[in-house]
Amino acid sequence: MEFKTVLKERAIYIEELLNKYMPKEEGYQKTIMESMNYSLSAGGKRLRPILTLEACKIVGGNEEDAIPFAVAIEMIHTYSLIHDDLPALDNDDLRRGRKTNHIVYGEDMAILAGDALLNYAFEVMLSSSLGKKNPEKYLRAINEIAKSSGIYGMIGGQVVDVQSENEQIPKEKLDYIHNNKTAAIIIGCMRAGAIIGDANEEQIDEITKYAKNIGLSFQIVDDILDIVGDEAKLGKKVGSDIDNNKSTYPSLLGLEKSKEIANELISEAKKSIEKLSENVEFLNGLADYIIAREY
């Protein structure tokens, strides 16, 4: 089966899980559930939850144990998109061809829906972890998710990204943004999955390296696609980084050098994962897919 088909199938499975874990749209406060679920069901590649489950499986765990963590990381990713799209931030009216949350529900509800999704992610992880055999393991896994999405992870990256608009920044700072805005929650969700799968420390280390390398590569490829990408295939406008005078890998290092680095990171990622298991087909395929998205 072609890798894209496998990925699509897994995304469909994640959609089913999300539908199961979404809050019911009822009660006086049901508008907030509608607003949360509107954005949760807006599609996307669902890479983060897929990676959470795969990390659990590849270390020998039962991927079903990691389901609440997979769902939670997608809720956190979704809340970050809702808030990112707000007028005070990126001011985007459309995402994946649909109206953004604040366009449909108003800015007040979009702010609260983002808050609610972040909070609900923790509710899902915590409530599903109660009464389990090894509670310390669950605390550790939730802690990984929390660290990776806060000021020493995703939010940290967003802040520096926001502050670096219309500014030429050095590569070190750009790497900070990419590593935190994008790679951090990929690392967090894979570490959480591996922990739930009872990974040993060496396995967690290799998973971490894989996640860090594909996370950075993913973001570099995004930078590249913003220059050479096909709008129709990508489903979004290209050229916005240049329009916004944003520092990117291509703007700092040139297109060819950026491609080279993205490729190197993917090779490194594959090396880490091959130490882990013989069933590396999916994670190898995913690594290749990240750079094959375009050029």
Positions touching its own copies (CB under 8 A) are 23, 27-29, 31-33, 36, 79-80, 83, 86, 88-89, 106-109, 111-112, 114-116, 118-120, 122-123, 126-127, 129-131, 135-136, 138-140, 142-143, 146-147, 149-151, 155-160, 162-163, 173, 176, 180
Closest by CA to 272, choosing from 182, 205, 197, 219, is 205
What do you get for the CA distance between the two ends of the chain, in Å?
22
Burial class (CB in 10 A: 0-12, 13-18, 19+), 159: middle
SS3 99: strand
- Rg of the chain over CA atoms, in angstroms? 19
Residue 97 or 131 having the CB closest to its own copies: 131
Reported in sequence order, the residue ranges of the chain that DSSP labels E, i.e. its strands, are 94-95, 98-99
**Nearer to its own copies (CB atom), residue 105 or residue 210:** 105
State the Cα angle at 22 between 196 and 33, rounded to 5°.
Answer: 140
Question: Quick check: 219 and 183 in contact, CB under 8 A?
Answer: yes
Instruction: Pick the closer one to its own copies by CB: 107 or 231.
Output: 107
Tokens of 247: 């520092």
**Residue closer to its own copies, measured from CB, 159 or 252:** 159
What distance in Å separates the CA atoms of residue 95 and residue 71, rounded to the nearest whole number?
20
Smallest gap from residue 29 Cβ to its own copies (A): 4
Q: How far is the CB of 25 from its own copies (least distance, A)?
A: 11
Q: Which is nearer to its own copies, 57 or 95 (CB)?
A: 95
Bridge-partner residues for 186, per DSSP?
A: none
CB of 52 to its own copies, least distance (A): 17
In the bound complex, what is the minimum distance in angstroms from residue 32's beta carbon to its own copies? 4
In the complex, least distance from residue 287 CB atom to its own copies, rounded to whole angstroms: 28
- The separation between CA 165 and the C-alpha centre of its own chain, rounded to angstroms, equals 22
Closest approach, Cβ 279 to its own copies, in A, equals: 31
Pick between residue 1 and residue 130 the one whose CB is nearest to its own copies: 130
Shorter beta-carbon distance to its own copies: residue 42 or 162: 162
Measured CA distances, 169 to 134, 174, 179, 239, 246 (Å): 45, 7, 15, 19, 9
Question: Least distance to its own copies from the beta carbon of 189, Å?
Answer: 15
